């Protein structure tokens, strides 16, 4: 069986700030497993604050770039971004018609900063020449207003504009994006010209100013889906999920609108797999030392947690641990099953709090309290710190899940850094606990074993 490598082309401009244009498009193509190619239309000197200068590429060179990659490498789907002049549009349209590939058009008019990316006289060519050859066109609210000739401020306006654009300019599918509208959801209206059908794309509106490049990545993701052979609707749904992730993990860079993060899609998957691998490695070390560690499994049993890298560790779901905990079975420590995300709140709460002080400390394990462990850890030079549950303020006690973050904060404050070992001596109805922290689960288990082995050496 031969393997088909999906290929997508972006016909767009360069944003020197790296957030929008072809850099966003290429990241998006590759994050979605599609080989990316470029026909550059313009160079912009741009950052998160605005566009300082534009140099257009010769229209014949734009056309030549498209023809050159299409005749050799092949193109399954393409998208257009910044097309600033009528001549560049005519040249791009000639090449697109010649090769007949599926086209997504992002009718780029202004950057997030408000700077224009199209010459006024090219607006008519965009309508007459570019949009009619597109399968999908993706105006935002202001662009839809220009194309439809009336203000687009509500979902109802967006619906009317989508239908108007489809009927007047003849693309197959119109998506009027809701990024510029208000509401606690960001809702895009999708209109299918042939069937006259409307569909909605909904996602929670993310509270961030770092949305530079959203439109570019969204349209590139649709083109990537089409290149992979998805139906238009499946490609559009994938793109919505993709852009929501890219905005959730957008980057606080620069002084204006920071860039979206198309790599988040790929990085999240890579880091999740890595976290599970690292936990499995450490769990095997626990099994290899099951007798020794078995003596230190507490009444509530143990767990070993590992968080995604700090940038991606937002809540308890971003920390993996053993679902049924590490139990004591016939005197031996035994992980009750394979690790998974979002299954521990106890150990995960220690990790989340520690990471706020030291983003490198991403792993922790709880064990049974024993004076000897504390004493030996100190002898080995580990930083040991504690907190006193009896000093917990009533307002913390009253709040579900607030005890551990409070206690961890106390222990960190007492040590002046995130310690290697945190303990507390319990309270009425609360077992005392020891937590061992480290950068990764193997380091945590190594610290534990170093302590337990030293205790045993001293015993005999």
Ligand X SMILES: Nc1ncnc2c1ncn2[C@@H]1O[C@H](COP(=O)(O)OP(=O)(O)OP(=O)(O)O)[C@@H](O)[C@H]1O
Ligand Y SMILES: Cc1ncc(CO)c(N)n1
Which entry of 211, 245, 353, 408 is annotated as an active-site residue? 211
CB of 44 to ligand Y, least distance (A): 5
With beta carbons less than 8 A apart as the criterion, state whether 102 and 135 touch. Answer: yes
Cα separation, 304 vs 326, whole angstroms: 8
Cβ(386)–Cβ(447) below 8 Å: no
Inter-CA distances, 107 with 87, 134, 215, Å: 16, 11, 9
Strand bridging mode 77-80 / 7-15: parallel
Number of alpha carbons in the 13 Å side-chain half-sphere of residue 451: 29
Q: Given the rule CB under 6 A, which of 4-12, 42-50, 175-183, 427-435 is the region that contacts ligand X?
A: 175-183
CA distance 58 to 80: 16
* Among the listed residues 213, 232, 258, 441, the single contact to ligand X using CB under 6 A: 213
Binding mask 112-151 for ligand X (x = CB under 6 A): x---------------------------x-----------
Residue of 146, 228, 240, 389 interacting with ligand X (CB under 6 A):
240
Label each residue of 353-405 as H, E or C: HHHHHCCCCCEEEEEECCHHHHHHHHHCCCCEEECCHHHCCHHHHHCCCCHHH
Concerning whether 211 is annotated as a catalytic residue, the answer is: yes
- CA–CA dist 187, 224 (Å, integer): 21
Query: What value, to the nearest 5°, has the Cα angle with vertex 453 and ends 450 and 454?
Result: 85
**Taking contact as CB under 6 A, which single stretch among the options 201-209, 279-287, 328-336, 445-453 is the one that binds ligand X?**
201-209
Instruction: Please select the residue that binds ligand Y; options are 44, 134, 210, 245, rule is CB under 6 A.
Output: 44
- Residue 81 touches which of ligand Y, ligand X, none (CB < 5 to 8 A by kind)? ligand Y
Residue pair 15/213 in contact by the 8 Å Cβ criterion? yes
Instruction: Determine the Cα–Cα distance for residues 453 and 460; give it in Å rounded to an integer.
Output: 11
Using the contact rule CB under 6 A, the part of the chain among 173-181, 273-281, 377-385, 410-418 near ligand X is 173-181
Using CB distances below 5 to 8 A depending on partner kind, what does residue 186 bind out of ligand Y, ligand X, none? ligand X
Residue 22, SS3? helix
Annotated catalytic, 215? Answer: yes
- Distance CA(118)–CA(56), nearest Å, equals 11
Site for ligand X in 247-306 (CB under 6 A): 247
| Whole-angstrom distance, CA of residue 124 vs CA of residue 118 | 11
Q: Choose the contact partner of 247 out of ligand Y, ligand X, none; CB within 5 to 8 A by kind.
A: ligand X
Which of 125, 216, 407, 447 does the annotation list as catalytic?
216
Question: What is the closest distance, in whole angstroms, from the C-beta atom of residue 28 to ligand Y in the complex?
Answer: 13
Among ligand X, ligand Y, none, partner that 21 touches (CB below 5 to 8 angstroms by kind): ligand Y
Q: Draw the binding track, 60-89, toward ligand Y (x: CB under 6 A; -: no contact).
A: ---------------------xx-------
Whether 216 is a known active-site residue: answer yes
| Size of the residue set binding ligand X (CB under 6 A) | 23
DSSP 140-209: -HHHHHHHHTS---SHHHHHHHHHHHHHHH--SEEEE--TTS-SSB--EEEEETTTTEEEEE--BPP--S
108 touches ligand Y by CB under 6 A: yes
Q: For residues 13 and 335, which CB has a smaller minimum distance to ligand X in the complex?
A: 13
Binding site for ligand Y (CB under 6 A): 12-15, 20-21, 44, 46, 81-82, 108, 111-112, 117, 213, 215-216
Binding site for ligand X (CB under 6 A): 20, 112, 140, 177-180, 186, 188, 203, 205-206, 211-216, 218, 240, 243-244, 247
Active-site positions read: 177, 211, 213-216
């Amino acid at each position: 069986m031969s393997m088909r490598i999906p290929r997508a082309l972006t016909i767009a401009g360069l944003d020197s700030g790296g957030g929008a244009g072809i850099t966003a498009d290429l990241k998006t193509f590759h994050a979605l497993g599609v080989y990316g190619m470029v026909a550059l239309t313009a160079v912009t000197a741009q950052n998160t604050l605005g566009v300082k200068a534009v140099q257009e590429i010769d229209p014949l060179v734009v056309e030549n770039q498209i023809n050159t990659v299409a005749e050799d490498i092949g193109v399954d789907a393409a998208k257009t971004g910044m097309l600033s002049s009528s001549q560049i549009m005519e040249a791009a349209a000639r090449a697109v018609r010649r090769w007949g590939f599926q086209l997504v058009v992002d009718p780029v008019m202004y950057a997030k900063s408000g700077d224009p990316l199209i010459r006024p006289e090219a607006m008519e060519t965009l309508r007459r020449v570019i949009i009619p050859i597109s399968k999908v066109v993706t105006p935002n609210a202001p662009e839809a207003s220009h194309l439809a000739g009336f203000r687009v401020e509500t979902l109802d306006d967006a619906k009317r504009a989508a239908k108007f654009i489809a009927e007047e300019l003849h693309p197959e599918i119109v998506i009027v994006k809701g990024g510029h509208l208000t509401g606690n959801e960001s809702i895009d209206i999708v209109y299918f010209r042939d069937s006259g059908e409307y569909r909605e794309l909904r996602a929670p509106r993310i509270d961030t100013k770092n949305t530079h490049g959203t439109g570019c990545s969204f349209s590139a993701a649709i083109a990537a889906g089409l290149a992979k052979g998805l139906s238009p609707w499946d490609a559009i749904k994938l793109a919505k999920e993709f852009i929501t992730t890219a905005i959730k993990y957008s980057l606080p860079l620069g002084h204006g609108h920071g860039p979206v993060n198309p790599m988040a899609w790929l990085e999240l998957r890579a880091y999740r797999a890595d976290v599970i691998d690292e936990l499995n490695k450490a769990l095997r070390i626990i099994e290899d030392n099951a007798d020794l560690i078995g003596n230190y499994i507490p009444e509530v049993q143990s767990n070993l947690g590992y968080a995604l890298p700090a940038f991606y560790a937002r809540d308890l779901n971003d920390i993996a641990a053993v679902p049924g905990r590490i139990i004591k079975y016939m005197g031996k420590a035994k992980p009750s099953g394979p690790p998974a995300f979002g299954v521990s709140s106890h150990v995960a709460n220690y990790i989340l709090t520690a990471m706020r002080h030291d983003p490198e400390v991403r792993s922790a394990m709880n064990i049974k309290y024993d004076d000897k462990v504390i004493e030996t850890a100190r002898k080995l030079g580990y930083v040991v710190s504690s907190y006193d549950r009896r000093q917990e303020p009533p307002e913390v006690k009253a709040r579900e899940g607030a005890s551990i973050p409070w206690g961890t904060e106390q222990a960190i404050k007492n040590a002046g850094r995130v310690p290697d070992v945190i303990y507390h001596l319990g309270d009425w109805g609360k077992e005392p606990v020891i937590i061992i922290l480290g950068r990764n689960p193997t380091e945590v288990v190594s610290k534990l074993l170093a302590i337990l082995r030293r205790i045993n050496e001293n015993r005999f």
